[in-house]
Structure 1
């Protein structure tokens, strides 16, 4: 993050501005007349963004929806990233089942679920939406874990520090290989992690090198 200058907006403008950025990135992916792919993240910040995005004029029938990570819970569980996306975006744009590639976090065979999701991913994602935790993690790539160093696998089953512990996550090769990546960060609680990323500390979020960062003023601080 020390390379590009972040986009800083007022808190009430974050959702519409992020939605506009995502919509434009999808339009670029769709420009050739084919399909575009987007990987969604969970978290408190993304719900308003997805609601705003659902109102954008796009050929949604040509967009395929993937996920940056998922908690190992059923898809109707309150902690499910899929459920958040379904309630705020997928239902509104009338996404068909064949457009939605859900991580099957509820499976007991988590390793099998990760490998199956690898097989379903496109070679390159057009758009990835990411957030950042107060510890500098992104997706379910947490500081100091082996998953951050993964170079071959595209999807891993990992254990995180917060409940529910088991997660499925995309790895850095997938995130850094995407055509467009947007970090969206909100709230004063993220200021310290942002300082650490900007200073060049080796946090997972800092390892995503091709991203645009959009912050609200509370996160950006001074």
Structure 2
């Protein structure tokens, strides 16, 4: 069953998102093992990551993964790793051995994806997703053959915007994650939010247990 969306004020989206992730991580950690958190890039998750760095979580027992990454070096402005490093890893002082980075600087894109598959846990505990105006999530775009993938856990794909090549987790990985938070903001997402919540055949609708959290503009409740 698809969870009802959580609608918050725009200025509260980062803090509310951070609280949700912190609670989910603590629940996973309460089972006495390490917890895994997979991060997406983009301007909407960034405030949540900054807030998350302030939350009281046993961070020494958390391993960090990535939902997707552009095939760029880790210091490139378009790198999702760079965003996470600046907003979360550096503020927390996360040691490198707890960060499983998608190696977007590699030229053999398929092998890079296959190598990342080997690093993933059997199931991710917590995943943070976003949603594009075309209904994509991760780097799974409408009409892409990657949406039909059943076996591979990570793929190299081409997106519609430059830089085109991406590495992404596939639907089996996202669908098997224990808890998934989707963050959405802005009136420009209003139409696609409505379509995803209605269950239309869009990539973001295919991870049905995602808890979508959005500001009022994205929810169609104001500007």
TM-score (norm 1): 0.98
Does residue 41 in structure 1 map to residue 28 in structure 2?
Answer: no
CA distances 1:50-105 after superposition (whole Å, capped 9, x unpaired): 00000001111110000000000000000000000000001111111110000001
Q: Which ranges of 4 or more aligned residues in structure 1 deviate by more than 4 Å?
A: none
Write out aligned runs for 1:87-166 (5 A).
Answer: 87-166=86-165
**Structure 2 length-normalised TM:** 0.97
Whole-angstrom CA distance in 2 between matches of 1:99 and 1:140: 23
Equivalent residues, number: 221
Q: Secondary structure at the match of 1:48?
A: helix
Provide the residue aligned with 2:79 in structure 1.
80
2:211 paired residue number: 212
Structure 1 unaligned spans of 5+:
none
Determine the C-alpha separation between the residues in 2 that align with 1:196 and 1:72.
Answer: 30
SS in 2 for 1:91: helix
Q: Is the aligned partner of 1:182 residue 2:181? A: yes
2-side partners of 1:86 and 1:78: how far apart?
A: 12
Shift of 1:47: 1.0
Q: Give the superposed CA RMSD.
A: 0.9
Q: Which moved more, 1:120-129 or 1:197-206?
A: 197-206
Contact 2:3/2:209 (CA < 8 Å) preserved in 1? no
1:1-40 to structure 2, matched below 5 A, reads 3-40=2-39
User: CA contact under 8 A between 2:124 and 2:176: conserved in structure 1?
Assistant: yes
- Structure 2 gaps of 5+ residues are none
Within 2, Cα distance between the matches of 1:172 and 1:78?
27
Q: Could you say which residue in structure 2 is the equivalent of 1:65? A: 64
- In 2, the alpha carbon distance for the partners of 1:162 and 1:53 equals 29
* CA deviation profile, 1:163-187 (whole Å, cap 9, x unmatched): 0000000000000000000001000
